[in-house]
Amino acid sequence: MTTRIPRNALTVFYASETLIQEGGQRRAGREQRSTTFREARKFLDGLGAPGNVSVWRASNNLTNAYATRDRDGSWFGLDRLTGKWEPIASGVPRG
C-alpha cells in the first residue's frame, strides 16, 4: 500500500515493522509514511507484527516516538506530559 504524502504536509507518521531475529536481535522491516496515525496503525495491524510509529512535525523539524504495537496486537501511546507509555484503547490518540 502506497500513500502519497503532500509536499506541504505539516505532520508525517512513520510506521516501522520490527523483526526479531534468532538470538533476540531486532531490526527494522517494512516501513510506511502516512499523513494520519490511523493509516500507520492500519499498516502495522495489517502486517500483524510488532512495530513503532514515530511522528515528524514541520513546526520543529523533529521526529519523535508516538506509539508502539506489541507482538500480541496491543497498542501503547507515549504520554508527552509524563513520558510513560499508556495503553491505547480501540480509539486513536490525538496528535
Assign 37 a pLDDT band (cuts: 50, 70, 90). Answer: very high
pTM (two decimals):
0.80
Q: Would you say residue 36 has pLDDT above 70?
A: yes
Amino acid found at 14: Y
pLDDT value, residue 77: 94
Q: Would you say residue 3 has pLDDT above 80?
A: no
Q: Would you say residue 2 has pLDDT above 60?
A: no
Element at 53 (helix H, strand E): strand 51-57
